[in-house]
Amino acid sequence: MKKLFRIIFFIGVLLFNGNIYSRSDTLRISGDTTNLSRGNQEELLLESSLEDTEDSKLLDYLEDLKKNSFDLNTVSREDLESIPFINSIIAKNIIEYRNENGSFKSKRDLLYVDGVNDRLYGLIKTYVVVKKSETDYVEDDDGKIYKENRNENPQILKDIEFSYRTRFQQDLQTKEGFLNGQYPGSKAKIYNRLNFIYNKSKYILQGNITTEKDAGERSITDFSSGYLEFRSSKILRTLIAGDYSLTFGQGLGMWSGTGFYKGSSTVDPVKKRGYGLNGYSSVNESQFFRGAASDINYNNFDFILFYSNNYFDASIDTTLDEVSSFYFDGYHRTISEQNRKKSAKESLFGSRILFNKNNLKLGATIWTSKFSKPVEFDSTRQLYSFSGDNANMLSFDYDYIYNNINIFGEFARSQSGIVAGLGALYISLSKFAELVFLYRHYPEDFSQVHSFGFGENNGNTQNESGLYSGLSVEPFKGLEVNAYFDQFKFPYRTYSNPASTSGNDFLTNVNYAFNKDLTLNFRYKSKNKEDTRTVQDESGRLVKKIDNRSQTNFRLGFDYDITDRFKLRSRYDYVFVKYDLFGGNNKGSLFFTDLRFNPAMGVSISTRFLFFETDSYDSRLYEYEEDIRGVMSNLGLYGKGRRWYVMVKFKPLSYVEISGKYAETYMDGAKSIGTGNDLIQGDTNNKINLGMEILF
């Protein structure tokens, strides 16, 4: 308690003293300014996506949206719905406002749209633009301010834009795999991406090439990807050759990627945004198709055809010539990892028809695929997972808006003959509140292959049913309350749980903005979930028993812009884990302070100092960090130690950004960190990330 009191006292002193700083060091501009360094959209949406990877397709998607903002005077309703935080009703209202008023004069006109309040406007204005506006400005990460309708980057050729991104990442400590020869390649992780867009008034031609090597891999092009994409507003909407992704409906029938998870944004992530057909430029080596696809539009119908012939990593039972397991990590360092590289292939063909008129969308998707080798998993571990050499899926999805109500959902039938379903109801109460209710039912023998439905086991669209209720309310200006309650059940036994289990999850997140410079945050989360534990019985034998695990999280934090060039942020997290039957209670805490400042035009520096202490891995705490372009850092920390990083962004030219991050974690009393080939001797783990991006 003393530690918490000192933290709160320290925060209060900083907030009080911060008012003496002058705020006259930055040019004052009338109109709206979109500050790119203030946005926390990525953290709101991704901090609960506990992916065990730095390469997030979701982060790539958000960055591409920010770089290619939609013009409010030409954007379609479908493109608006692809923006996080803009639901179907808000998208409909924006289009109706544009039709009634002729055009948007500036982005602030969005505040006249029914359902758009100050909070929502602050979240979405990064992703939209009014190209003819004379009052909209942008403030870069480095503090430079310019008119948003002016192109700051040089134009080499008319109508053509080029972008090049490169990254270099390396652990400075040497892992065991490099010492024992298991990792034959260099310690560096290297990424390169070249993209071009040829934008004519009637069509867009886009191309992309991406390459990457992980630490320990030999070839700098261990993974390579590319595509050529044509888009127009005519009959042929989209044509892609190369690598692409498919995201339809609510993810039950076809979703080649990941999705947003439950978090402090309690309403928006519930509805999946089926982006349809898109070129693939990320480096997750298993979440894409390779072949060709097209989207043909006729009146209110879209017809999508797709074909893929793509390899994947797998372990092969050479005796039976069968696939015994899939691998999605993309590592090809050790001999065993290299042997399973591209060892099997899936040939897939499918189609989709979408009817879209006024406030109604109806979609149907069908696909079938054949594997080069039969898939036969260990039946004791994956009882109802896909098996055989043929897979197929048939699904129907719907989306209907009536006034301020949106109903949506999807039903899908897999090759096992079993149907899974999801249905949801969204209600908008003007600018005051939003409500959402979602029920899902995924039978244990729903044999999904390319599904990623919403749920407690995010993406594992099998053996789960549940009811989710979410609320977002702004009772008065400055105060925002988000809450959800999710009750779920896993009806059938699994390998880890020998019986049916259930649980529930509750979260409330409160933000209060005293003014545009100071925001306080409080979060409470409580989760109960039955799980199997290995315990000793009366005879000393190890047996498996079901126990209820209760986890309670508290968070207190603030964001404060002391001056326009100096920003401060602090957060305190506490977690307590309790078991009902067999003991093992544990707890943990985490505290960090961020400083961000612009010492000179074109330069921004951000740092974080963090202290953590948990009883075990069971009470680990996650913290989302700023990083170089394209890298998602959402670390789970446990044990006792401290971490700090410093990150520098430098723009020597308006079209060139160079960034670097040094991060170091120290573990108190540790003789080593990690296990196996990733083991590091000593108590320190440090890393350097370097990146460069050029935009023409």
Q: Is the pLDDT higher at 225 or at 377?
A: 225
Give me the DSSP letters along 252-269.
SS-B-S----SSSS-SGG
How far is residue 350 from each of residues 138, 276, 304, 450, 695, measured CA to CA in Å?
43, 13, 8, 12, 36
Do 43 and 624 contact (CB within 8 A), yes or no? yes
- Rounded to whole angstroms, how far apart are CA atoms 356 and 238? 17
Residue 301: strand pairing partners: 298, 355
For the chain, the structural domain boundaries read 31-152, 236-416
- Rounded to whole angstroms, how far apart are CA atoms 391 and 370? 6
Comparing CA positions, the residue from 206, 101, 115, 133 lying closest to residue 163 is: 206
Mean pLDDT, rounded, for 660-670: 95
Do 565 and 597 contact (CB within 8 A), yes or no? yes
Residue 16 pLDDT greater than 70, yes or no? no
How far is residue 166 from each of residues 163, 376, 455, 677, 691, measured CA to CA in Å?
10, 40, 35, 27, 6
Residue 37 pLDDT greater than 70, yes or no? no
The vertex-83 CA angle with 82 and 87, nearest 5°, equals 80
- Rounded to whole angstroms, how far apart are CA atoms 639 and 614? 5
Residue with tokens 């979408």: 354
The answer to which of 80-84, 412-416, 682-686 has the lowest mean pLDDT is 80-84
Do 481 and 473 contact (CB within 8 A), yes or no? yes
Residue 593: strand pairing partners: 570, 609
HSE, CB side, 13 Å, CA atoms: give it for residue 534. 3
How far is residue 332 from each of residues 174, 540, 676, measured CA to CA in Å?
18, 43, 16
Residue 3 pLDDT greater than 70, yes or no? no
How far is residue 357 from each of residues 100, 300, 479, measured CA to CA in Å?
19, 6, 37
Question: 182-222 pLDDT, tens per residue?
Answer: 999 999 999 999 999 998 878 899 999 999 999 999 999 99
Three-state DSSP string of 397-423: EEEEEECCEEEEEEEEEECCCCEEEEE
Q: Does an H or E element contain 43, and which? A: helix 41-46
- Rounded to whole angstroms, how far apart are CA atoms 8 and 571? 10
Question: 517-526 pLDDT, tens per residue?
Answer: 899 999 999 9
Do 450 and 464 contact (CB within 8 A), yes or no? no
Confidence band, pLDDT 50/70/90 cuts, at residue 695: confident
Q: Is the pLDDT higher at 59 or at 53?
A: 59
Q: What is the share, in percent, of the chain residues with pLDDT greater than 70?
A: 90
Q: Report the pLDDT value the prediction gives residue 265, as an integer from 0 to 100.
A: 87
Q: Is 130 exposed, middle or buried (0-12, 13-18, 19+ CB in 10 A)?
A: buried
Q: Report the pLDDT value the prediction gives residue 23, as an integer from 0 to 100.
A: 36
Report which DSSP code applies to 514: E
Length of the chain: 696
Residue 22 pLDDT greater than 50, yes or no? no
Neighbours of 508 (CB within 10 A): 17
Q: Report the pLDDT value the prediction gives residue 30, as an integer from 0 to 100.
A: 42
Do 202 and 232 contact (CB within 8 A), yes or no? yes
User: At 284, is the secondary structure helix, strand, or coil?
Assistant: coil
Confidence band, pLDDT 50/70/90 cuts, at residue 49: low
> Which amino acid is present at 575?
V
HSE, CB side, 13 Å, CA atoms: give it for residue 475. 6
Residue with tokens 């979602």: 438
Q: Report the pLDDT value the prediction gives residue 156, as an integer from 0 to 100.
A: 62
Q: Does an H or E element contain 591, and which? A: strand 586-600
Q: Is the pLDDT higher at 383 or at 299?
A: 299
Confidence band, pLDDT 50/70/90 cuts, at residue 14: very low
- Rounded to whole angstroms, how far apart are CA atoms 525 and 484? 10
How far is residue 658 from each of residues 22, 38, 141, 165, 232, measured CA to CA in Å?
30, 19, 12, 10, 34
Give me the DSSP letters along 150-197.
S--S--SSTTEEEEEEEEEEEESSPPHHHHTTS--S-SEEEEEEEEEE
Residue 668 pLDDT greater than 80, yes or no? yes
Mean pLDDT, rounded, for 483-494: 92
Q: Report the pLDDT value the prediction gives residue 467, as an integer from 0 to 100.
A: 97
- Rounded to whole angstroms, how far apart are CA atoms 287 and 303? 23
Residue 237 pLDDT greater than 50, yes or no? yes
Indicate the pairing of strand 236-247 with strand 289-298.
Answer: antiparallel
Could you tell me the two tokens for 424? 């949801």
Q: Report the pLDDT value the prediction gives residue 430, as an integer from 0 to 100.
A: 73
Question: 569-616 pLDDT, tens per residue?
Answer: 999 999 999 999 888 899 999 999 999 988 888 899 999 999 999 999
Q: Supply φ then ψ for residue 523, to 5 degrees.
A: -135, 140
Q: Report the pLDDT value the prediction gives residue 634, as an integer from 0 to 100.
A: 86
Mean pLDDT, rounded, for 150-167: 77
What class is the 31-152 domain?
mainly alpha
The answer to which of 32-36, 134-138, 444-448, 507-511 has the lowest mean pLDDT is 32-36
Contacts 24+ apart (CB under 8 A), 635-638: 636/50, 637/590, 637/610, 637/612, 637/665, 638/588, 638/612, 638/614
Residue 389 pLDDT greater than 60, yes or no? yes
Q: Report the pLDDT value the prediction gives residue 610, as an integer from 0 to 100.
A: 97
Q: Report the pLDDT value the prediction gives residue 649, as an integer from 0 to 100.
A: 93
Do 250 and 260 contact (CB within 8 A), yes or no? no
Three-state DSSP string of 325-352: EEECCCCCCCHHHHHCCCCEEEEEEEEE
The winner for highest mean pLDDT among 49-58, 133-142, 417-426, 597-606 is: 417-426
Confidence band, pLDDT 50/70/90 cuts, at residue 65: confident
Q: Report the pLDDT value the prediction gives residue 306, as an integer from 0 to 100.
A: 97
Do 249 and 355 contact (CB within 8 A), yes or no? no
Q: Which residues are CB-contacts of 615 (< 8 A; sequence separation ≥ 6)?
A: 586, 587, 588
- Rounded to whole angstroms, how far apart are CA atoms 575 and 662? 28
- Rounded to whole angstroms, how far apart are CA atoms 559 and 623? 15
